[in-house]
Amino acid sequence: MLAGCVSAPPPQPSAGIAPIRFLLSFDDGPSASLGVNPTREILDALADNPIQPEIKAVFFIQTRASHAGGSAQGQSLLRRQQKDGHLLGFHTATRRHSNHRFLSPDELAQSLRDGVADLRAISSKPPRLVRPPFWNYDERTFAAYQAHGLHLLLTDLSANDGKTWGINGSLRRRSNLRSQLALAATHIQAGDMPVVDGVIPVIVTFHDLNPYTARHMREYLQILMDVAGDVGLATATKPFYDQRDALERAAIKRALGDPLQHVRLPGLWNWLWN
């Protein structure tokens, strides 16, 4: 057999590096759909799948959007998310998916007050995490988040599934996640990512309003496991979080500490905002 026809063996996990654990997060929901509801499908898949039962995730909520948390269906799903042991984070409390940088100081402060109150009503305590719409923030909005006790969490991997209508699937989902995880692996190997409770949290972002994501959630879990092996990262015995407190500790540790720190954003947002 010609040497050029032999596939190279996959990279082996590096000795001395803590295993990774995927920290799943979902933006924009919960869905108000009365038919096949993508948020409900995702919750079902996290609870019952072949990889690890009862996975817990962070859901960044649009608390007052009519197609999300501002609906009766959305409120019902918020209560389920809390009951199922997931972690509720703040996305926005504006009526639409508004960019916080384009809000006046008073409008932003009101949105933050409303969102914190909305989520406190569900979970009996204020949220501690925020992910700004469009990943966009500056020193002013960062300071406003801090003033309301909110830690800004970005991501390492993105499914690039923010488009929730029309053709919203991806033929490159595996290669996309592999390339992003390969980049994260370079930071892990350099010791740039923290170890929390004995594992390195790797943040993955999806959108729970996307029907394609919902239908393929179990496949995405397997893809994440596969690409970790592809890039030589060992996963923890439990490769996903299954306890809300541990999930929150990891997310807080990975939150952005300095608004001026250079951060690589997913997809076109990195080019647009930077």
Give whole-number Cα distances, 216 to 11, 35, 45, 220, in Å: 27, 18, 9, 6
Helix (H) or strand (E) holding 82: helix 72-83
Of 128, 131, 133, give the one whose Cα is nearest residue 153. 131
Residues of the chain with pLDDT under 50: 1-8, 166, 168, 269, 271, 273
Q: What is the pLDDT of residue 270?
A: 54
At residue 112, the pLDDT reads 97
CA distance 174 to 196: 27
Check residue 274 and give its pLDDT: 55
- How many other β-carbons are positioned within 10 Å of the β-carbon of residue 226? 12
Spatial CA neighbour of 32 closest among 1, 60, 63: 63
pLDDT of residue 267: 62
CATH superfamily of 16-269: Glycoside hydrolase/deacetylase (3.20.20.370)
In this prediction the pTM is 0.90
Q: Which pLDDT value is given to residue 1? A: 36
